[in-house]
Structure 1
């Protein structure tokens, strides 16, 4: 049996709200992960430089690849 029109709309609105909340949460999580990766890349570049190696830029591959 089909749902009444108003009930379907209410269900769809709840679904959209739920998905919106999920996307907002994921956006925050992604921003945090991006920042953490940047910090790790900076630390690794500093470590390589301290060891007398070259400076690592972005996702540049080491010369042995």
Structure 2
């Protein structure tokens, strides 16, 4: 039974090390996902603002509904 004690201790140490590394990996991944989510939100807001600017420019140029305009060759 004394032969198995160091083996169990070694296994336990290895498992604790693995858990510590996994915890760090989870924290790193969470930080990466959070940063990406913030970037996506900023980009979505920017795209929305650009879409509004395009719509405003079209209205100012008398092109309120460009989808229903005939192509230039007509």
Q: Same fold (TM over 0.5)?
A: yes
The equivalent of 1:51 in structure 2 is 61
For 1:1-65, list aligned pairs within 5 A.
Answer: 4-55=14-65, 62-63=67-68
How much is the aligned-residue C-alpha RMSD, in angstroms? Answer: 2.2
Aligned residues: 58
The runs of 4+ residues in structure 1 deviating greater than 2 Å are none
Question: Bigger relative contact order, structure 1 or 2, given CA contacts below 8 A and separation 6+?
Answer: 1
Could you tell me which runs of 5 or more consecutive residues in structure 1 were left unpaired when the two chains were aligned: 57-61
SS in 1 for 2:63: coil
What TM-score comes out, normalization by structure 1 length?
0.78
Change in CA separation of 1:16 and 1:22 when aligned onto 2, cut-off 3 Å: same
Larger-gyration structure (1/2): 2
